[in-house]
Amino acid sequence: MNFDLTPEQEQLRDAVRSLGRRYGHRYFVEKAKAGEHTTELWHEAGRLGYLGVNIPTEYGGGGGGITELALVCEELAAAGCPLLLLVVSPAIAATVITRHGTDEQRKRYLPGLADGSQKIVFAITEPEAGSNFHRLGTVARRDGDDWVVSGRKCYISGVDEAGHVLVVARTEDAASGKLKPALFVVPTDAPGLTWSKLDMEILSPENQFLLYLDDVRLPADALVGQSLDAGLPALFAGLNPERITVAAMGAGTGRYAIERASEYTASRKVWGGRSIGSHQGVSHPLAHAAVQVELARLMIYKAASLYDAGRDLEAGVAGNMAKYATGEAAALAVDTAVQVHGGAGMTTEYGVATLLGAVRAGRIAPVSREMILNFVAQHVLGQDKSY
Ligand SMILES: Cc1cc2nc3c(=O)[nH]c(=O)nc-3n(C[C@H](O)[C@H](O)[C@H](O)COP(=O)(O)OP(=O)(O)OC[C@H]3O[C@@H](n4cnc5c(N)ncnc54)[C@H](O)[C@@H]3O)c2cc1C
């Protein structure tokens, strides 16, 4: 058993950390408040190769795995820059295309994802289906060689900054009559595709959208893998990297909050010469949050190494547990950091309350804590499904 990063992974972690610190949380908040994106940071990370660490070298990537991408997500978040689109574009879209796209699709999309010049966002959630993906209502039907896709998606992150959306639809299987998932790479300028921004209570430079697909006509090669049999494995291929990297982002955010709080409590004095951090009523909640974040990190990197070793089923269990644990730990860390700052905790200047919305959302998305508990109850504990 070995808990150490390789020298290359340590180098990557340190380099990403220093990039993140050069931008910092103030930059992230200013962009969000101005309604702008963190474009400079994204492009610089792309030029330095950090956005494509998990993409094969033949397509311009770093040839690493989800472990490397998790390090990138964690370190940027630990510097105060939790970038949700890392979870969507390099983690989900690049993995799905690498593992299940055709050669032509890999050549077309991966180089742009690797250098960050292109983003592909991910659309599965629908207003009526919610957590129950079996009820997806976005339908793809064949028309000659083309596909025509119609439906509605919600909470889709980053549509306004992406060239394409990876849309999860369903088709009717002519042989069995069963409905199957099918993934399409849809250009964001395709006729019939429109979107409207959702007002969210999350301070973030990345936004969520309602997406409307109204008879969007796509060529045959927009279907990932160009085979309907690729749909289900392609969808599952994207879910483990999504859970692992979103957890890494949460762990980084937790670390960031605890670091801010520790600095503050070590220097703030309101009772004579003693710091407020000397009072255990202040330091113990912080220490407790630090323990929870560190425990979650162990599960994140266990899940990432299982995934990179090709042990998908075990990575699925560990990735869900990591996502659950980190969602709780990050929310606890940020809430505790706000509390120990007193009034300063609610100011923008101290840069902790600015993360409350994001960590709260981390207990809901991309998969809610309840759905993870359902998964663990059924698949680990062998309980009957109640729904
Ligand atoms: C910031 C943010 C970004 C997002 N980005 C994207 C994106 O880029 N692409 C995308 O496709 N989606 C995205 N989503 C959507 C997200 O994945 C969903 O919100 C999430 O999967 C929950 O679905 P829902 O909102 O429909 O909740 P619902 O399914 O309506 O559930 C509501 C509540 O009921 C609980 N619940 C439902 N069923 C059960 C059950 N059987 N047992 C116990 N509890 C249950 C849920 O846990 C939840 O607490 C994003 C959401 C947010 C908040």
Q: Alpha-carbon dihedral of residues 147, 151, 153, 159, nearest 10 degrees?
A: 50
Domain residue ranges of the chain, discontinuous segments joined by +:
7-119, 122-229, 233-379
Q: What is the mean pLDDT of residues 149-154?
A: 97
Q: What is the mean pLDDT of residues 274-281?
A: 97
Q: Which of 154, 207, 364 has most ligand 1 atoms within 8 Å of CB, for mutation?
A: 364
**Quick one: CATH architecture of 233-379?**
Up-down Bundle (1.20)
Whole-number percent of the chain with pLDDT over 70 = 98
pLDDT of the residue at 312: 95
Cβ contact 353:278 at 8 Å: no
By mean pLDDT, which of 98-112, 223-237, 309-323 is the weakest? Answer: 223-237
- Closest to 303 measured CA to CA, from 334, 324, 289, 288: 324
Q: Does residue 89 line the site of ligand 1, with CB under 6 A?
A: no
Run of H or E including 81: none
pLDDT tens-digit readout, 176-206: 555 589 999 999 999 999 999 999 999 999 9
CB atoms within 10 A of CB 184: 23
Q: What is the mean pLDDT of residues 199-216?
A: 98
User: What is the distance between the alpha carbons of residues 243 and 92, in angstroms, rounded to a whole number?
Assistant: 10
Cβ contact 150:138 at 8 Å: yes
Q: Does residue 239 line the site of ligand 1, with CB under 6 A?
A: no
Cβ contact 142:182 at 8 Å: no
User: What is the distance between the alpha carbons of residues 256 and 334, in angstroms, rounded to a whole number?
Assistant: 9
User: What is the distance between the alpha carbons of residues 296 and 254, in angstroms, rounded to a whole number?
Assistant: 10
- Closest to 88 measured CA to CA, from 56, 112, 122: 122
* Cβ-count burial 198-227 (b if 16+ within 10 Å, e if not): eeeebbbbbbbbbbebeebebeeebbbbee
Is the pLDDT confidence value at 94 over 80? yes
Q: Which CATH class is domain 122-229?
A: mainly beta
Is the pLDDT confidence value at 175 over 60? no
Cβ contact 78:255 at 8 Å: yes
pLDDT band at 227 (very low <50, low <70, confident <90, very high): confident
Q: Does residue 208 line the site of ligand 1, with CB under 6 A?
A: yes
Q: Does residue 370 line the site of ligand 1, with CB under 6 A?
A: yes
Q: What is the mean pLDDT of residues 19-41?
A: 98
pLDDT of the residue at 98: 97
pLDDT tens-digit readout, 64-87: 999 999 999 999 999 999 999 999
Going from the Cα of 365 to the center of ligand 1, the distance in angstroms, rounded, reads: 6
Going from the Cα of 381 to the center of ligand 1, the distance in angstroms, rounded, reads: 23
Place of tokens 């547990």: 321
Six-digit token string for 286:
């912080």
Is the pLDDT confidence value at 228 over 90? no
Closest ligand 1 atom, CA of 158?
8
Phi/psi of residue 142, each to 5°?
-80, 140
pLDDT tens-digit readout, 326-382: 999 999 999 999 999 999 999 999 999 999 999 999 999 999 999 999 999 999 999
152 Cβ contact partners less than 8 Å away, ≥ 6 residues apart: 126, 127, 137, 138, 210, 211, 212, 213
Q: Which CATH class is domain 7-119?
A: mainly alpha
